[in-house]
């Protein structure tokens, strides 16, 4: 398709230091930028289609980004080496110090991406992946692919299919596309999905994820997740998390010299009474009584 990306943008304190290199393909525009950013420089970007930015140098200590109306005092994070920005998602940037940077931009028509992904992963999974932003710092082979594409943009030497294939490989390597092992079978979560979920809730420490957060972790809709989760574990997501929290409470009661009130605070319960009620619900006894019984044994 004949395509040129459309983007609303504005910058202050950012200066191009070399002519940008660019090429147009079928539903794809690739641009290699080299620029210098002053302390306090700012930028705003909003595109109608998805895009990918890959930095050839680490700017995470120098550039901050936000998707919340430029509120850098609260809603900001470091700029990673590679990011995928879904269609219609605004982005604000600010620089903390003087630096030069080089990055590759891939502007892609959303219909082209959908056509590229759907035959392999299905339309539903493709749409889910296209709506989900991605930010990674350790880009590994993606940097090699981006370097090859930047070289081909600067000095075309091969058929267009070469550059388009490099862009497709970057997309496949960066987007959060579930593997075939992540697809639920017979109304149940796969072991790969359960492993992802266990890692996610363990990282929280207090086992207090919302159903939406749990569903997002395994790449499912909230309603579908709640159904297949109960089929898999025999418990609702909230019942399962409560059981996990009580398991952890039992370990803390035995392994550390903590009061029941201190454990309640550590695990995110409202107070000691809240923990005691939940503990009795799951274990059949109060935390204090259960601890005495275990010590006596």
Q: Is 12 contained in some domain?
A: yes
Backbone angles phi, psi at 230, to 5 degrees: -65, -35
Are 192 and 269 within one domain? no
The DSSP-derived string for 110-165 is: HHHHHHHHHHHH-HHHHHHHHHS-EEES--THHHHHHHHHHHHHHS--S-HHHHHH
The Cβ of residue 246 has, within 10 Å, a number of other Cβ atoms equal to 20
Q: How many CA atoms lie within 13 A of 5 on its CB side?
A: 28
DSSP code of 219?
T
Residue among 196, 204, 245, 203 at smallest CA distance from 220: 196
Q: Is 31 contained in some domain?
A: yes
Of 234, 257, 273, which marks where a domain is finished? 234
Residue spans of the chain under pLDDT 70: 1-2, 70-75, 178-187, 205-207, 256, 297
Are 32 and 170 within one domain? yes
Q: Is 41 contained in some domain?
A: yes
pTM passes above 0.75: no
DSSP SS3 for 288: helix
Give the domain CATH number at 265: 1.10.10.60
Strand-strand pairing, 99-108 and 51-55 = antiparallel
pLDDT at 72: 64
Are 70 and 160 within one domain? yes
pLDDT at 179: 61
Are 22 and 162 within one domain? yes
| Number of domains present in the structure of the chain | 3
Q: Is 226 contained in some domain?
A: yes
CA distance 21 to 93: 22
Residue among 83, 2, 79 at smallest CA distance from 41: 79
Are 71 and 161 within one domain? yes
Q: Is 260 contained in some domain?
A: yes
Tens digits of residue pLDDT in 252-262:
888 767 889 98
Are 148 and 189 within one domain? no
Of 124, 152, 174, which marks where a domain is finished? 174
Q: Is 121 contained in some domain?
A: yes
CA distance 96 to 13: 11
Are 254 and 109 within one domain? no
pLDDT at 125: 80
Q: What is the CA radius of gyration of the chain?
A: 24
Backbone angles phi, psi at 72, to 5 degrees: -75, -15
Helix axes 272-283, 237-255, angle to 10 degrees: 100
The length of the chain, given as a count of residues: 297
Tens digits of residue pLDDT in 3-32:
788 899 999 999 999 999 999 998 999 999
Are 191 and 284 within one domain? no
* Structural domain for 288, as ranges: 240-296
Burial class of 185 by CB neighbour count within 10 A (0 to 12, 13 to 18, 19+):
exposed
Of 174, 203, 226, which marks where a domain is finished? 174
Q: Is 76 contained in some domain?
A: yes
Are 82 and 221 within one domain? no
Give the domain CATH number at 96: 2.60.120.10
Are 223 and 254 within one domain? no
Are 26 and 162 within one domain? yes
Q: Is 1 contained in some domain?
A: no
Backbone angles phi, psi at 157, to 5 degrees: -135, -5
Are 152 and 103 within one domain? yes
Residue among 277, 199, 215 at smallest CA distance from 242: 277
């Amino acid at each position: 398709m004949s395509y040129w990306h459309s983007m609303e943008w504005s910058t202050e304190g950012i200066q191009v230091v070399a002519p940008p290199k660019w090429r147009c393909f079928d539903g794809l525009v690739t641009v290699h930028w080299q620029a210098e950013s002053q302390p306090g420089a700012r930028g705003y970007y909003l595109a109608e289609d998805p895009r990918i930015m890959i930095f050839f140098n680490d700017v995470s200590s120098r550039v901050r980004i936000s998707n919340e109306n430029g509120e850098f005092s609260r809603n900001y994070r470091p700029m990673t080496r590679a990011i995928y920005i879904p269609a219609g998602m605004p982005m604000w940037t600010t620089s903390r110090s003087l630096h030069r940077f080089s990055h590759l931009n891939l502007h892609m028509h959303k219909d082209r991406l959908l056509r590229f992904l759907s035959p392999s992963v299905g339309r539903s999974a493709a749409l889910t992946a296209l709506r989900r932003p991605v930010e990674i710092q350790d880009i590994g082979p993606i940097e090699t692919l981006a370097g090859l594409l930047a070289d081909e943009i600067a000095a075309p030497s091969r058929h267009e299919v070469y550059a388009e294939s490099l862009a497709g490989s970057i997309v496949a390597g960066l987007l959060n596309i579930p593997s075939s092992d992540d697809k639920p079978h017979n109304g149940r979560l796969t072991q790969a999905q359960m492993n992802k979920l266990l890692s996610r809730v363990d990282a929280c420490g207090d086992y207090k994820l919302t159903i939406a957060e749990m569903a997002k972790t395994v790449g499912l809709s909230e309603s579908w997740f709640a159904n297949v989760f109960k089929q898999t574990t025999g418990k609702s997501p909230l019942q399962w998390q409560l059981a996990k929290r009580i398991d952890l409470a039992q370990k803390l009661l035995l392994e550390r010299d903590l009061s029941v009130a201190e454990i309640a605070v550590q695990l995110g319960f409202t107070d000691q009474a809240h923990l005691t009620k939940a503990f009795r619900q799951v274990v059949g006894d109060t935390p204090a009584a259960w601890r005495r019984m275990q010590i006596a044994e």
